[in-house]
Structure 1
Amino acid sequence: MALHKLLVDDFYDDTYKLIAIHCGLEDYRLAYLLNQSLELNLERKPDDLDFEYLKSSYSIFEWNNTSQYITWNLVSNVCKKEEASLSSSGTLFQTNDNVLKTFNLVPEFKKVDYFIKISDEIQNVNEKLILNKLQAIPQIITSYSVNPKQLKSKDHLIF
């Protein structure tokens, strides 16, 4: 009897562009500025991205441009969560100290605040034009293109 193997190593092969953004703005404010400068219509999704059993959650905005077959996503890369710390001080009174923990959606880029994911089927998005428009926004410190195939945690960007 013959033995058949099915190799599914590279099953999910989506073509998308990824842009990293460094800025100190809140997510809704950045989405508003992107809507104005890039002529988008980003809207917050009702559910955030949750990872590791609700350990961290990331805000996500989305717009489907059906006329050009492009899906735009703005996703936060940073989640800050306050947790109670376990400390044994050996004293009579117990102190409740809270620790602020930081989690990243893409751990390879810890300094990046937000990512823009552009999923285009026709490959008609001019990435240099988008980067120039992003650099024109005074609240954005810097933005640059990221090669998603070199990321170890590219599975986190499937939504």
Structure 2
Amino acid sequence: MRKLILEDFIEDIDYALIGIHCSIEDYRLAYLLNKHLGLNLKRKSVDIEYKDTSCYSIFEWEDEKQLTVWNLISNISKIEVNDAVDVTSLFVNEEKFTKTNYLIPEYKKVNFILKISDDPNQHLEKQALNKILEIPQVVTAFGIDANKLKTTDQLIFN
């Protein structure tokens, strides 16, 4: 009788994540990352959508020289929701409010996530992090351990 161990078939996480806290727009951050890191991030034609409740912008660049894929993803999705409020009157009032969702809920202070996929030497994360911290518009940036996240399904979008 042979025993098959499932853990042998589960792939290790082959990407690095950098959390970026700043208050600028996504396209502005993509421009600054392109300028300071020598990237060529471009907005994808379709945003990441989850369960019709949230939408996250995504920028991507495939570096064929380093054999890596770079993604800049918004961590925050704000949508306007109508809520019917009955105030025990003849009329039902509709109130609008903004609902905030997070791609990675454990990091609510992170505005953007930079994902570096297939980094063969695993040296790009430290270099990128140091250069990101030099950008004046960035408040802070830090590495995120993907192994400690509750779910990583939302980070698979290829």
Asked if TM exceeds 0.5, the reply is: yes
* In structure 1, distance between residues paired with 2:28 and 2:145: 26
- Indicate the SS of the match to 2:94: coil
- The equivalences for 1:68-107 within 5 A come to 68-107=66-105
TM-score, structure 1 normalization = 0.89
Is contact 1:107–1:153 with CA below 8 Å preserved after alignment? no
Is contact 1:45–1:62 with CA below 8 Å preserved after alignment? yes
Q: Sequence identity of aligned pairs in percent?
A: 45
Select between 84-93 and 147-156 the one with higher mean Cα deviation.
Answer: 84-93
Select between 124-133 and 100-109 the one with higher mean Cα deviation.
Answer: 124-133
How many corresponding residue pairs? 157
- Name the residue aligned to 1:154: 152
- Return the letter of the residue paired with 1:116: L
Deviation at 1:95, TM superposition (A): 2.2
Is contact 2:72–2:112 with CA below 8 Å preserved after alignment? yes
Deviation at 1:12, TM superposition (A): 4.3
- Name the residue aligned to 2:111: 113
Deviation at 1:4, TM superposition (A): 8.0
- Name the residue aligned to 2:131: 133
Deviation at 1:122, TM superposition (A): 1.4
- Return the letter of the residue paired with 1:40: L
Instruction: Check 1:94–1:124 CA distance in 2 against 1; reply closer, same or farther (3 A cut).
Output: closer
- Indicate the SS of the match to 2:59: strand
Q: Does 1:51 align with 2:38?
A: no
* In structure 2, distance between residues paired with 1:104 and 1:4: 40
- Return the letter of the residue paired with 1:76: S
Q: Does 1:144 align with 2:142?
A: yes
Provide Cα deviations, 1:91-119, integer angstroms capped at 9, x if missing partner: 23332210100001111111110000001
Is contact 2:84–2:92 with CA below 8 Å preserved after alignment? no
- Indicate the SS of the match to 1:95: strand
* In structure 2, distance between residues paired with 1:106 and 1:126: 22
Q: State the Cα RMSD in Å.
A: 2.0
TM-score, structure 2 normalization = 0.90
- Indicate the SS of the match to 2:60: strand
Instruction: Check 1:57–1:10 CA distance in 2 against 1; reply closer, same or farther (3 A cut).
Output: farther
> Which stretches of structure 1, 4 residues or longer, exceed 6 Å deviation after superposition?
2-6
- Indicate the SS of the match to 1:92: coil
- Return the letter of the residue paired with 1:97: E
- Name the residue aligned to 1:33: 32
